[in-house]
Every structure is written in structure tokens, then in C-alpha cells.
Amino acid sequence: MEQSKTKRALRIVCGTFLAVWAVVDYIGAAVMLDFTFVRWWIPAIVAFAVAAVSGLLLWRMWKWLTCRSTFILNYICHILFFTGLFMIAQLAVNHYVPSGEPSRHEKALVAKVYKEKRYHTKRVRRNVYTRGAPYYVYCADLRLENGSTSTISLNRKRYDSLHKGDSIGIVVCRGFLGWEELRTDSIKYPAQHRKKHKRRNIPRRRPSHKDRM
């Protein structure tokens, strides 16, 4: 009895770890796609195809976690986990393995400057979480000379000084898999000028007869 409880606890811990790992893979892939000039479905289809083929051979390895011998359940678990893993692996190889080709300098146009409201996660009690305090993330959409677009993150100071229509200097390089990337650490921003906030025009009240008295 005690041994079965230990195995069950171990499966819960491992299952939670793998679920968090999968979420991190998908989030990491989404972040890397922001500065990689490739349509998202290209690495996604490749990752899904590799996961689907490998799942035909490795689906049994998930039986210890699901406690089921059915093919479909274990096959789905394999695809969900390894699609994210293979997707971020492609983007990481393209980013970190040098291609040997020289980078080039370009001018990019700021198409949009915006902020997004998000929320922290607040723990209520064990295994129960709710939405916590709000916070903002600041971003800018860039349009390159060839028509490609990219999204970069900004700090509050940069957000206040950057405007739609500004031109910034960027460095573009080709990765190991042939996908071009924006080097976010080499961006040259224009001189900082704080945004002018629009002032509300409040109509002036005409003095009444009583005021003149």
C-alpha cells in the first residue's frame, strides 16, 4: 500500500514537471518567433511531423505516467510534449549555432508602439491560483525593408520616447537553418524625445450675471 502511494506521488511530480516543461517550450518558441523571420507554421509543422512519427515508436514510454495501455492517450501525450520540444529546438539551433554568413545593417520603421496589460499569478492555497496584481509590458512592431515584421520588447523609458514612424537601425543575420533573425542586442534607437500627451480642451465657462455682480 505504501509503495503504491509512493509511485502515485512520483507520477504526479513527474507529470507536473513535464507539463511545466512543455509550457515553457511553447512560450519560449513564441518568444523566439518574435525576432525570427519565418512563418510560425513552418517550424510548427516540422516539429509536429517529427513528434507524430516518433510517437508511433515511443508511445509506450508514457504508460508509466498515464497508467493506461491505450495507444491514443499515450500517443497524444507524446505529440503534445515533443511538438513544443522539437519546435524550440529548431529555433535554438538556428539562433545559437553560427552559420558563417556575415550580418547586415538595415533601417526598420516603427509601425506601432503599444502596451499590454497582464496579471501576476497569486497563490490562494495549495494547488489553487488566481489572478493577481496587474502590470504592463511595452512593445513595438517593426517593419523591415523587405516587408518582414518583428516585435521587440521595450522598457518604460524607451516606450515613452519611441513614436510610430520612427526609423531605427537594426542588425539582421542568417541563422544555421537559413532563417533570418533580428539581433535585439544591436538595435540603434533614435534620440529620445518624450511623448507629448494630448491635453483635454476644457471649454472656459462664461461669467454669469451673478459673477459680474
> Which of 108-112, 134-138, 203-207, 209-213 has the lowest average pLDDT?
209-213
32-44: pLDDT as tens digits:
998 898 999 999 9
pTM: 0.76
Domain that holds residue 64: 2-96
Number of domains in the chain: 2
Residue 181 lies in a domain: yes
Q: Are both 122 and 63 inside the same structural domain?
A: no
pLDDT higher than threshold 80 for residue 200: no
Last residue of a domain, one of 47, 73, 96: 96
Residue 65 lies in a domain: yes
Kindly state the cell numbers that stand for 148. Answer: 518582414
Q: Are both 31 and 82 inside the same structural domain?
A: yes
CB 47 within 8 A of CB 83: yes
Residue 212 lies in a domain: no
123-134: pLDDT as tens digits:
877 777 788 899
> Which of 31-35, 99-103, 169-173 has the lowest average pLDDT?
99-103
pLDDT higher than threshold 50 for residue 212: no
Write the CATH number for 149. Answer: 2.40.50
Residue 205 lies in a domain: no
> Which of 27-36, 43-52, 185-194 has the lowest average pLDDT?
185-194
- Please tell me the distance from the alpha carbon of residue 100 to that of residue 122, in angstroms, as a whole number: 46
Residue 193 lies in a domain: no
Q: Are both 74 and 14 inside the same structural domain?
A: yes
pLDDT band at 61 (very low <50, low <70, confident <90, very high): very high
Last residue of a domain, one of 73, 96, 119: 96
